[in-house]
Chains A and B, each alone.
Chain A
Amino acid sequence: MQLFLEQVLNGIGNGVVYGSVALALVLIFRTTGVLNFAQGEMALFSTYISWKLTETGLPVVGAIVISMLIAFVAGGVLQFTLIRPMEGRSQLNVVIVTLGLFLAINSLAQLFFGTDPQLMPSAFPSGGVDLFGGARIQKDTIGLIVVLLVECLALWVLLNKTRLGLKLRAVAADPVSARLHGIRAGWMLMFGWALAAMIGALAGSLVAAERTGFDATLMQIILVYALAAAALGGFDSIWGAVICGLIVGIADALTIQYVDALDGIEVVVPLGLILVVLIVSPNGLFGKRTVERV
């Protein structure tokens, strides 16, 4: 029982990470209609910036906040320079641009920050908390969960209760019509990217701290799992992305522990999950729109 609980907690620990990145992916997709394959690498770059800032003596929280602000600006600039010109073009072209970004950003990160593993200090106190059943949950996992919940709440409020959020959603629903109502759609799209980049920066910085050192490969496999989580959630729903992140994380942890046959190829789990869910429910578990066009 304890083992099971531990694995579930493990899974939650990872799942929160996948959920955070999935959140950024879904946000960009919901607000701009683009699947950003470079999301992970953007987060990676921001993580390096956070790390660099801590190296100069800044406290961790301050470093992360500054990095998030930088990411905000960078995200907007990226959208403006590279994605906006792709409007009206085939979605495939946009995908290719994000793939190109994936390659470029990762490589630039290695160029600027080196290939050696680095240590990212944690924003949370170390140690764990004992739970019932004899299992133990790490404090930074709890921290991540709390942060993620706060993010979701904040995003939900933003999108559903504010004027800005209404504008964002209107642009996502019908940009042409939105412009006719006096909404500056271009700015809204930039804002969507900026926000997602900021979330990614936070996720990356916190994730890196959980590990005993990170390097340029940090986000690569996480991206696959995050994509799985986002897809499971249907790309439509913020809470869906997070919940599915947890599902993916837990399923993955349990598979590693209990299914020896899949040893080494556990990545088949998120894949299998996507496939099964999609065959059964083509819009994902929580999705409403059909996400067909590519």
Chain B
Amino acid sequence: MSLLELDEVVGGYGQVQVLHGIDLAVDEGKVAVVLGANGAGKTTTLRAISGQVHVTGDIRFAGTSIVGKGPEAVSKLGIAHVPQGRGTFGELTVEENLRVGAINRRDNDIQRDLDRWYGVFPRLGERRTQEAGSMSGGEQQMLALARAMMARPRLLLLDEPSLGLAPLVTRELFTRLGDLNRNEGLSILVVEQNANLALDIGQWGYVLETGHIAVEGPAEQLHDDEAVRKAYLGF
């Protein structure tokens, strides 16, 4: 049984259906990558999982069905969603942003986790009292990631983390993600346009096309398969 399973998920925004039957799974401790062109439904898929979009079909997390639950409930179950554009709280400081990540935790390790993430992302540590909105794109992405991790999630959903970032920063970001996956066993579902880097850290890949899965397979295979690359990934 996979950690996350999507079964025949159909849905969208009111009268416009974007997803036309998504079957997807993320195994525990693995990184799954979702690729595809603009408008294919990648973002909507993540939104469906985190409960922001109404869908039919089934979505199961650790065996229990979560379809129909709202974002707050889904978050409490252990799914952290870093949306497109980071969703950092611009008016709050870096530290406050991180604390929001831990807002529903009742344990005493919050400070320890804060220190830990300041260690992993030193630049955040330097700017802990700075307003998040004044930081660069790359720093905000790091912040969004650390913030999501503050909730100690089982599953991380990432929506186009490389968007707007310089190549070097993107590379660093994906390295960190890879580390988190290998060292912590964090399960990740990442939606990306930058197929190359994403497939490098992933184990399984899906290619979305107008609301359904066109191709899926081991990440390496998708990466190397020329036909797939040319048809769907544009390189």
Contact = CB atoms under 8 A, between A and B. Distances in A.
Direct contact of A and B (CB under 8 A): yes
A173 B90 contact: yes
Interface string B170-191: 0000000000000000000000
A3 interface: no
Interface in A180-194: 180-185
B83 to A, nearest CB: 7
B72 A166 contact: no
Nearest to B144: A177
B83 A180 contact: yes
Given A166-B96, A170-B92, A182 B104 contact: yes
B92 A180 contact: no
A178 B90 CA distance: 12
A139 interface: no
A176 B96 contact: no
B89 A174 contact: yes
Given A169-B89, A174-B87, A180 B103 contact: no
Given A166-B100, A170-B100, A177-B83, A184 B72 contact: yes
B50 interface: yes
A181 B92 contact: no
Choose among A166, A178, A182, A289 the residue with the greatest number of B CB atoms under 10 Å from its CB.
A182
Contact of A179 (B70, B99, B151): B70
Contact of A163 (B75, B88, B103): B103
A180 B84 CA distance: 12
Contacts of A177: 83, 87-89
A176 B52 contact: yes
A179 B87 contact: no
Interface string B135-163: 00000000000010001000000000000
A183 B92 contact: no
Summarize A's interface: helix, strand, loop or mixed.
Answer: helix
Given A163-B103, A166-B103, A180 B89 contact: no
A181 B72 CA distance: 7
B21 interface: no
Summarize B's interface: helix, strand, loop or mixed.
Answer: loop
A178 B83 contact: no
Interface string B63-104: 000000011100110001101000111111000100111011
A33 to B, nearest CB: 12
A169 to B, nearest CB: 6
Nearest to B82: A180
Contact of B75 (A182, A288, A289): A182
Contacts of A169: 89, 91-92, 96
B161 to A, nearest CB: 15
Interface in A142-193: 163, 166-167, 169-170, 172-174, 176-185
Interface in A266-294: 288-289
Contact of B72 (A173, A174, A179, A288): A179
B73 to A, nearest CB: 8
Contacts of B71: 179-180, 182
Contacts of B101: 181
Contacts of A184: 72
B81 A183 contact: no
A54 B90 CA distance: 46
A173 B52 contact: no
Choose among B71, B80, B151 the residue with the greatest number of A CB atoms under 10 Å from its CB.
B71
B91 A181 contact: no
Nearest to A164: B103
11 contacts: A170-B89, A170-B103, A173-B90, A173-B91, A176-B83, A179-B70, A179-B72, A180-B52, A180-B87, A181-B103, A182-B72
The 3 closest A-B pairs by CB, nearest first: A177-B87, A182-B75, A173-B89
Interface of A: 163, 166-167, 169-170, 172-174, 176-185, 288-289
Given A176-B83, A179-B52, 18 more contacts: A166-B92, A166-B96, A167-B103, A170-B92, A176-B87, A177-B83, A177-B88, A178-B89, A179-B70, A179-B72, A180-B50, A180-B80, A181-B100, A181-B103, A181-B147, A182-B72, A183-B72, A289-B91
